[in-house]
Amino acid sequence: MFNKSNSFGFLFFIVLLVACNSLPYQSTNRFYKKQTKELVKQIQLEPSLQIVNNLPAANQWVGTTNFDLRKPNFVIIHHTAQNSCEQTLKTFTLERTKVSAHYVICKDGTIHHMLNDYMRAWHGGIAKWGNNTDINSSSIGIEIDNNGFEPFETAQINSLMLLLDKLKNQYKIPSENFIGHGDIAPKRKVDPNIYFPWNQLALNGYGVWYTPDSTKNLPESLSVPLALSIVGYDIADTTAAILAFKRHFRQDSTSQMSLEDRSVLFQLIQRKTTGK
């Protein structure tokens, strides 16, 4: 016998199941909105200098009229080192992982904008570039779906180039400030590794490059550690810094420094010191 009540209940269950499957990140999106509201509350608080350690605070608050939001000044490119874009999205929506990025680019070129650019993502970890030891506070993190040992898809690079163009123009990010996770954390990370097309990016204004196979004017006394430091690398571990440099600029994973490698390094410090 046909039971309308049971039929309606079953239908409701199917609709609910489909809705949940089509919106798998509904709960984490709610958490995102809650978290941003809490941050907005902090921003809206009037500055208040409480008497701490006998600081001579004024009796009356005077708010400045000249301010805006802090803006990102670096773009850090990563590979996900995971098996799929979906796996990375899940990783970035689990609180226990304590990692995130502003953007994730899937193999088909789809871009997920996971965090407002003005917010601080947890993508750099313990890192250093030049004198900057808090990369997360000044950078945008972009994760590209790739296990680190395979070529990047054309669709991914095309989407990345469009995204970098937007970010560079919107935030006036200098060309030399487009770097990799392995550059800022050479002892811990290798991404986006030797398959990443840094040359292609640099030719379009996202990063710096050099004149291939040019060894003229190369000083015999070039100090590799000092040169790496001038470029921006942390030389606490010189071998790690050399490996990071060679992955980025030579698509090589060995630590030996050839004459050509030294020439590339010299060209980079010349550009760094002269702006040319």
pLDDT along the chain (276 residues), means of 10: 53 50 84 93 78 72 89 97 97 97 98 97 97 97 97 98 98 98 98 98 97 80 95 98 98 95 94 77
Rounded to an integer, what distance in angstroms lies between the CA atom of residue 100 and that of residue 230?
Answer: 29
Q: Note the pLDDT of residue 4.
A: 52
Q: Which CATH superfamily is domain 69-207 in?
A: Peptidoglycan recognition protein-like (3.40.80.10)
Per residue in 157-173, pLDDT (tens digit) is 999 999 999 999 999 99
Q: Note the pLDDT of residue 271.
A: 87
143 among known catalytic residues: yes
Domain-wise residue ranges, the chain? 69-207, 210-276
Q: Note the pLDDT of residue 8.
A: 54
Closest CA to 226 of 258, 273, 181, 189: 273
Which of the residues 143, 150, 153, 220 is marked catalytic? 143
Rounded to an integer, what distance in angstroms lies between the CA atom of residue 150 and that of residue 145?
Answer: 10
Closest CA to 142 of 86, 177, 180: 180
Question: Do you know the residue count of the chain?
Answer: 276
Q: Note the pLDDT of residue 11.
A: 52
- Cα 5 to Cα 10, 14, 16, 18: the distances in Å are 9, 14, 16, 20
Predicted model pTM:
0.88
Q: Note the pLDDT of residue 276.
A: 63
